[in-house]
Amino acid sequence: EKTVRTTCSYCGVGCQLEVHASADAIIRIDGVSDAAANHGHLCVKGRYAHGFVRHPDRLTRPLVRKDGALVETAWDDAIALIAREFTRLRGALAGLSSSRCTNEENYLFQKWFRAGLGTNDVDCCARVCHAPSAAGMRAAFGTGAATNSLADIERTDLLMVVGANVTEAHPVSGARIRQATLRGARLIVVDPRRTELAAMADAYLQVRPGANVPLFNALACVLVEEGLIDRGFIAGRVAGWEDYEPFIRAQTPERWEAVTGVPAHRVREAARLYGRASRPFMAHGLGVT
């Protein structure tokens, strides 16, 4: 009877869904063919896991605690109660948002708490789980956000996937990476676990847990040693290179081989692949965080 376009909330890829419904029942879910995030693709959750909507355990009416017990309440009464309490507690509230919300929903949430409810105490799960990587990116790039979009997967000639089991955790993005490699893009995987992508990789660096920093220093050492860097770009855009270069030249793959568990010759092979690529793309997940 009707089709509704919406955003899947199972992970952070942001796949666009076409939800086909009859009365109050979901009949089928399809991917939106022209959506930038998923190009019509969906994983098994996005396509088939809509049964939770009709699950008997699902709450469909608000519950308000009265005399120590949760009691079903009319929507208008529950919303009025929340509004009264928020008004009473204005300025003494805190908000916790979610990665399962869209960017727009998270923006509205923080604006409502800051401007509407008078509190700057707003937090989200990204600060907890991605705090170290966001801090590192902020120091290097000025912001904790990604420098590439997922659309660049189709444009790259080399992908480096670090600490992310993408085909399991974000299957639609994982499928795009697989497709890129099948079209000829080279693939480097850095992960303690031999993932599905590791089996397809041109270079698989099975790093010991906790040894990411010395491994990446060793990769950078090879890039500098073998001249696989753009010195013109560095001179015009990079601060502190004079201190960094002598430091990084000392971080050889041979020096850190016993710590990382990755043979030095494999580190050198991977660095050459990365350094000779025209359009490399690096993706990291919670494993490196």
For the chain, residues with pLDDT lower than 70 are: none
Question: Residues 149, 122: contact at Cβ < 8 Å?
Answer: no
What region, left, alpha or beta, does residue 8 occupy, with left being phi > 0 and alpha being psi -120 to 50 degrees?
A: beta
DSSP single-letter state for residue 222: H
- How confident is the model at residue 111, as a pLDDT? 95
Using the Cα atoms of residue 72, residue 74, residue 75 and residue 76 in order, give the sign of their dihedral.
Answer: negative
pLDDT in tens, 27-57: 999 999 999 889 999 999 999 999 888 899 9
Residue 123 tokens read as 């937090």
- How confident is the model at residue 13, as a pLDDT? 84
- How confident is the model at residue 198, as a pLDDT? 96
Question: Residues 197, 178: contact at Cβ < 8 Å?
Answer: yes
pLDDT in tens, 142-176: 888 888 888 899 999 999 999 999 999 889 999 99
Name every residue whose Cβ is closer than 8 Å to that of residue 184 and which is 6 or more positions away in sequence: 157
- How confident is the model at residue 99, as a pLDDT? 75
- How confident is the model at residue 102, as a pLDDT? 79
DSSP single-letter state for residue 207: P
186-190 and 203-205 beta bridge pairing: parallel
- How confident is the model at residue 163, as a pLDDT? 94
Query: CA separation (Å) from 157 to 124, 147, 251?
Result: 34, 17, 27
Residue 22 burial (10 A CB sphere; 0-12, 13-18, 19+) = exposed
Burial letters 106-130, b for 16+ CB under 10 A, else e? beebeeebeeebeeeebebebeeeb
- How confident is the model at residue 129, as a pLDDT? 78
- How confident is the model at residue 101, as a pLDDT? 81
Minimal CA–CA distance to 151: which of 31, 30, 278, 35? 35
Alpha-carbon distance of 29 to 15, in angstroms, equals 12
Name every residue whose Cβ is closer than 8 Å to that of residue 75 and which is 6 or more positions away in sequence: 61, 62
User: Distance between alpha carbon 229 and the CA centroid of its chain, in Å?
Assistant: 27
State whether residue 3 is helix, strand or coil: strand
Q: Which residues pair with 31 in a beta bridge?
A: 17
